[in-house]
A and B are shown apart, each in its own frame.
Chain A
Amino acid sequence: MPPRSSARDLERYAGLFAARTQVMKSTAMRDLMAVTDQPDIISLAGGLPDTSTFPAEDFSALMARVGAESSAAALQYGPTEGLGAVKACIVEVMAAEGMEVEPEDLLVTTGGQQVIDLVCRALIDPGDVILAEGPTYPGAVPVFHSYQADVVQIEMDEDGMRIDVLQDTLERLDRDGRKPKFIYTIPSFQNPAGVTMNLERRRALVRLAAERELLVLEDNPYGLLRYEGDPLPTLFSLDGGEYVIYLGTFSKILSPGLRLGWTAAPHPVLEKLALGKAAADLCSAALSQHFVVAYFANRDWRAYLRGLVELYRRRRDTMLDALAEHLPREADWTRPRGGLFVWARLPGYIDTTDLLARALRENVAFVPGRGAFLDGRGGSEMRLNFSGVHEDDIREGVRRIGKVVREQVELFSTLTGSEPARDPRPASPAERPNVVPMPRRGAQGR
């Protein structure tokens, strides 16, 4: 076996690393998350679709078909912008959410994640400002870090990003002579907060972007995973493709293992993104693209999606019921109308990173809220996933979390001599700029 690097080697390389590799992720969080993938742990920490629902025989049949009909092409490089036939599938998926695009508006990418990377690559110089929701998608955080962006997070409420705060922030940045390069948002069933931007705010955001000539990166992985309510128009369709860069993915409607996503963007931007993609990986996997083409041609993707929506709706309901049953009054949480996540907020004296250590002893895991902020906020919040977990495990997992939260609430009240039922937080959302104000449990009519 060849020897691994020695101490001296590490020192030798240390001087070679770029400044952007100095990631801020806490070692504590990394150490804790490393334990969460043990087999006997109920993990509500994932962000996983349930791929076990995809029929194995369909997978085999489609792969056999790809092998029989397009073996040479599936094993070959493909065009950087993606196969035309895949773009036709994407046009169909986007039409299902009321968007009209032409194939030449599209760039097929290696997962939606690559779009975030490509947009930063094309737009961000070190120190440039990105505006994002607070909390934001934890997976975007390391991308923003690696381009050394200065990220300003805009608070949300149950109707998504607060546009009034966005406006104030833009004005403040103006006064400092700084103009953000883009606004990153997940308007529908946000990861991690689970909230959805209402129509009025969508219109206001698009208008603001046009007035100020700002780009918006609309990340929409979950739009079709709607469990209740009417669909809302995407920012992309409201804007007509002027200032909105749209990010879509097959990960949540088909499979994340394919690593296929896409972007639709104004053409000058799209060209830069395509150049970046050519530099990054030449093209997305041809094999995956041929699989998608075969799937759309031979199966009813809408029917599969309907099945997922039914399944995830049940799991969401199970989680909301379990939270109502097991979390103490001091906690509250969002009630997502779609997507994969619930965001829960605990009293300010509970640190969810520490709580995770306690929870792991009960064999349950969640994502501590700090991972969704770039500035150390989110210390008392947590993200809970319901899509990738069976209902029994959701119930049991939430019961265990409830147990450790109650334990800490009681301990704190013993230490301070206060009543356990006391609400230790200020009542006004304005006093808590970093959190999503949510209706109290009693007010939800359950």
Chain B
Amino acid sequence: MKVAVLKGGRSLERQVSLRSGARVEDALHRLGHDVLPIDVGPDLVDRLVGDRPDVAFVALHGRGGEDGTVQELLELLDVPYTASGPSACIRCMDKVVSKHVLRDAGIPTPDFYAFSQTAFGELGAARALPAIEERLAFPLVVKPAGQGSALGIKFAASAADVPGAIVAAFSYDTKVLLERYVAGRDLAVSIIEGPDGPEALPVVEAVPQGDDFYDFEARYEIGRTHFTCPAQLPAGASERAAELALRTYRALGCFGFARIDLMLDGESGELTVLEANAIPGLTETSLLPLAAEAAGIGFDALIERLLQLAATRVPAA
């Protein structure tokens, strides 16, 4: 098959995307496909129209690639592509939207309040902050609605930290959320579509090394976080995490694959879903390939499966 690998682009996750893309290209070569690497830019449509790939493998992360924009374009050009369609991408990329979907579907997610920049400017939303802080309690987490990586996520230990954290989060998006902080274990469940529908892969746990508890960045750095798969969890927790992840995947309307991030509360043992990634990383250190390998699915087999799913999918529109 002639496969266009879409990677890079202008998002802040450009570097990760280039690495995911390069690794996918290697696998495609090994699988005997005709590979067309595309660093996504203003010539994307021309290249897709000119080269007419059989399938587009979307290895983009973040804005533009993971938020439904590229998927809309691919639908328009009638190019089959991997992973979720535009609407699921939009739901996953926007944490406010996805958390509302989760809540409506009865899937536990940490309490939250979301604001747009105009709410603060025109509706005086700042006056509501003390009430929110009281309900969520400290420390709380402030996040931009639409940023895939750890960028812009801050802990606020007290009320004095909140305004600065909100200002920082608005650097990444016009919408931010304040979320209850769950102290506990950091889990990720990857889902891939099998012959009988979506399947949950073994749970991965991210264990930060050292005691820099509040450092989100550490999670993404080799050596600063240790990953175990399958995670050693209390009885029943893995099954429950898999079930929640599958429900999340379906509720958000994902297709092909996705990664669902969860927290296991250290005290209550309660599981909550933090977010879903419609196009999880595929680099050498990414969690989905790690989980697939633990389930006996090698990287090449994973890529081939995603490709076949894309080629045979019924158009979403």
Q: Which residue numbers of A lie inside 8 Å of B, CB to CB?
A: 1, 3-7, 9-10, 14, 22, 26-28, 30-32, 34-35, 38, 348-351, 354-358, 360, 408, 411-412, 414-417
Please list 28 pairs of residues, one from A and one from B, whose beta carbons are closer than 8 Å in the complex, sorted by A's number. A1-B26, A4-B23, A5-B284, A6-B284, A7-B289, A7-B299, A9-B284, A14-B223, A26-B217, A27-B217, A28-B217, A31-B14, A31-B16, A32-B151, A35-B12, A35-B14, A348-B164, A349-B163, A351-B168, A351-B171, A354-B152, A356-B171, A408-B171, A411-B120, A411-B167, A412-B163, A414-B121, A415-B162
- Asked if B152 and A357 sit within 8 Å, CB to CB, the answer is yes
**Which residue of A10, A349, A355 contacts B285 across the interface (Cβ within 8 Å)?**
A10
Contact with A along B26-41 (1 / 0, CB 8 A): 1001100000000000
The reply to whether the CB of B206 lies closer than 8 angstroms to some CB of chain A is: no
CB pair A4–B22 under 8 Å, yes or no, is yes
Residues of B within 8 A of A31 (CB): 12-16, 149, 151
Inter-chain contacts of B293 with A (CB < 8 A): 7
Not counting A31-B15, A357-B12, A411-B121, a sample of 9 additional A-B residue pairs whose C-beta atoms are within 8 angstroms of each other reads: A3-B30, A31-B12, A35-B10, A351-B171, A360-B12, A408-B170, A408-B171, A416-B126, A417-B126
Contact of A32 among B10, B12, B166 (CB under 8 A): B12
Chain B residues, CB < 8 A from A10: 284-285
| Contacting pair B172 A415 (CB below 8 A) | no
B243 within 8 Å of A (CB atoms) = no
Tally of chain B residues near chain A (CB < 8 A): 42
Q: Is B201 an interface residue (CB 8 A)?
A: no
Q: Which residues of B contact A34 (CB under 8 A)?
A: 14-15
Q: Is the CB of A355 within 8 A of B150?
A: no
Of residues 117 to 166 in B, which have CB atoms within 8 Å of A's CB atoms?
117, 120-121, 126, 129, 149-152, 162-164, 166
Most A-side CB within 10 Å, residue of B12, B30, B164, B171: B171
State whether A415 and B150 are in contact (beta carbons under 8 Å apart), knowing that A7-B284, A27-B217, A355-B171 are contacts in the complex: no
Q: Which residue of B lies closest to A360 (CB)?
A: B12
Question: Given A31-B12, A31-B13, A415-B163, do A3 and B151 touch, yes or no (CB 8 Å)?
Answer: no
In angstroms, Cα B152 to Cα A354, docked, is 6
Query: Within 8 Å CB of A38, what residues of B?
Result: 10
A207 to B223, CA, bound (A): 44
- What distance in Å separates the Cβ of A27 from its nearest Cβ neighbour in chain B? 5
Minimum C-beta distance from A141 to chain B (A): 17
The complex places the Cα of A10 from the Cα of B299 at a distance, in Å, of 14
Instruction: Flag whether B290 is at the interface (Cβ < 8 A).
Output: yes
Query: A10 CA to B290 CA in the complex, in Å?
Result: 12
Decide yes or no whether B112 CB sits under 8 A from chain A: no
Chain A residues near B169 (CB, 8 Å)? 354
Min Cβ gap A129→B in Å is 23
Q: A27 to B14, alpha carbons, bound, how many Å? A: 12
A408 to B150, CA, bound (A): 20
Tell me how far the C-beta of A331 lies from the nearest C-beta in chain B, rounded to whole angstroms. 14
Closest residue of chain B to A409 (Cβ to Cβ) is B167
> Which one of A7, A28, A360, A412 lies within 8 Å of B167 (CB-CB)?
A412
> Does the CB pair A30–B166 fall under 8 Å?
no
Contact of B221 with A by CB under 8 A: yes
Rounded to whole Å, the gap between the CB of B161 and the closest CB of chain A is: 10
B223 touches A349 (CB 8 A): no
> Are the CB atoms of A412 and B164 closer together than 8 Å?
yes
In the complex, what's the smallest C-beta–C-beta distance from A381 to chain B, in angstroms?
15
What CA separation (Å) do A411 and B164 show in the bound complex?
Answer: 10
Contact partners of A357 in chain B: CB under 8 A: 12, 151-152, 171-172
Which residue of B is nearest A411, CB measured? B167
Q: Report the separation of the CA atoms of residues A365 and B164 in the bound assembly, to the nearest whole angstrom.
A: 21
Q: Cα distance A408–B163 when bound, in Å? A: 10
Q: Chain A residues with Cβ under 8 A from B168's Cβ?
A: 351, 354
Give every chain B residue within 8 A of A408 (Cβ-Cβ): 167, 170-171
Asked if A358 and B30 sit within 8 Å, CB to CB, the answer is no
Whether A30 and B26, one on each chain, are in contact in the complex, defined by CB atoms closer than 8 angstroms, is no
Is B222 part of the binding interface, using a Cβ–Cβ cutoff of 8 Å? yes
Q: Nearest Cβ in chain B — how far from A346, in angstroms?
A: 11
Smallest CB-CB A-B distances: 3 pairs: A358-B171, A415-B163, A354-B171
Inter-chain CA distance A22–B30, complex, in Å, is: 32
CB-nearest residue of chain A relative to B215?
A26
Question: Which chain A residue has the least Cβ–Cβ distance from B216?
Answer: A28
Bound: A408/B121 CA distance, A: 12
Contacts of B11 in A (CB 8 A): 35
Complex interface bits, B168-180 against A, C-beta within 8 A gives 1, otherwise 0: 1111100000000
Closest chain A residue, CB of each to CB of B290 = A7
CA A30 to CA B290, docked complex, whole Å = 24
Contacts of B149 in A (CB 8 A): 28, 31
Q: Output the nearest chain B residue to A30 by Cβ-Cβ distance.
A: B15
A416 contact set on B, CB distance < 8 A? 126, 163
Known: A4-B23, A38-B10, A357-B12. A27 touches B284 (CB 8 A): no
Of B14, B129, B167, B284, most buried by chain A (CB within 10 Å of CB) is: B167
**What's the least CB distance linking A403 to chain B, in Å?**
13
Min Cβ gap A354→B in Å is 4
Minimum distance in angstroms from B186 CB to a CB of chain A:
17
Within the assembled complex, what's the spacing in Å between the Cα atoms of A183 and B170?
Answer: 40
Whether A349 contacts B152 by the Cβ 8 Å rule is no
Instruction: Tell me, in angstroms, the Cα distance from A350 to B166 when the chains sit together.
Output: 10
CA distance A417 to B129 in the complex (A): 12
Q: A22-B223, A31-B149, A31-B151 are in contact. Are A414 and B12 (CB under 8 A)?
A: no
B198-214 vs A, Cβ < 8 Å mask (1 yes, 0 no):
00000000000000000
CA distance A416 to B11 in the complex (A): 31
- Closest approach, in angstroms, between the C-beta of B144 and any C-beta of chain A? 9
Residue of A nearest to B117 (CB): A411
Q: Closest A residue to B163 by CB, please name it.
A: A415
State A390–B44 Cα separation when bound (angstroms): 30
In the docked arrangement, what's the CA distance between A360 and B11, Å?
A: 10
Q: Which B residues touch A417, using CB under 8 A? A: 126
For B120, give the chain A residue with the smallest CB separation: A414
Output the least CB separation between A123 and chain B (Å). 27
